[in-house]
Amino acid sequence: MSNANAQKVFVAYEVPDADAGWELEEQDMPESALHDAIIDLLKLVLKAWVTRARLDALIASNLALRWDEKRFKVGVDPDVAVYVPPPPEGEETTSVCTWETGHAPPRIAVEVVSKSTASKDYVNAPNQYAASGTIELWVFDPKRFGPRQNGGPFVLQLWRRDDAGVFRQLYRGDGPCMSPELGAWLVVTDRQTRLRIADDPEGTRLWLTDKERAEQETLRAEQETLRAEQATLRAELARDQAEAKNAGLEAELAALRAELARLRGG
């Protein structure tokens, strides 16, 4: 039987506070330039948003998140994380430990899937972020490195903690999808190589980085200058045409006066 019209089913299950496989690596695995570019752009977009919204927040990358004081090595280091409010140490924070005063789980965590992290990002990450208390998780897999099971791999997944504390997968697919935490859309752009945030699902109103916004303002100013110059040129052309027309009329009038004088003299 076809399941085209079947309802979506959510599966909820218990997650342990810690697992032996969740211990942080001593040394980070090297990542591709694409992986770094995706993360760098997201951080810049989110930092610009924090500035515009005047939020007291920390946008961090690969900052260790730990939630089990008895098993300190257990944790996860999000590719990007949004902490609102930030830990008391601010940008000097070396590890977020949620049992410490002022250290809260991220409102948003982002994992960008690479070939070396695909299994971890698909299988472990949702459980780790569920255990950590994270509110919302985005998993972006631009090259579809994830496992081919349960309908995967997926370019984009969004997980979110509901009011009852249950961590649910709200979306999986090619995008776009709505981020309840931001009240904005996650859209995949640049031939599926970038994850952007937008005010609309079509991605026509992207959230910009500070540099992009400055470039946009510069372009807008240049366009205004060009329009003003064009208006000046049009006015000058109209004046020249009027003067030429008046000169023609004066010449024609002079010729008529000369002809009239000739006829009178005759």
- Could you write out the three-class secondary structure of the chain? CCCCCCCCCCCCCCCCCCCHHHECCCCCCCCCHHHHHHHHHHHHHHHHHHHHHCCCCEEECCCEEECCCCCCCECECCCEEEECCCCCCHHHCCEEECCCCCCCCCCEEEEECCCCCHHHHHHHHHHHHHHHCCCEEEEECCCCCCCCCCCCCCCEEEEEECCCCCEEEEEEECCCEEECCCCEEEEEECCCCEEEEECCCCCCCECCCHHHHHHHHHHHHHHHHHHHHHHHHHHHHHHHHHHHHHHHHHHHHHHHHHHHHHHHHC
The residues spanned by each domain of the chain are 20-207, 209-266
Residue range 23-52, pLDDT digits in tens: 666 555 667 899 999 999 999 999 999 999
Whether residue 149 has pLDDT greater than 50: yes
**Is the CATH number of domain 20-207 3.40.50.300?**
no
Would you place residue 225 in the very low, low, confident or very high pLDDT band (cuts 50, 70, 90)?
confident
Whether residue 137 has pLDDT greater than 90: yes
pLDDT of residue 21: 67
Average pLDDT score over residue span 140-149? 94
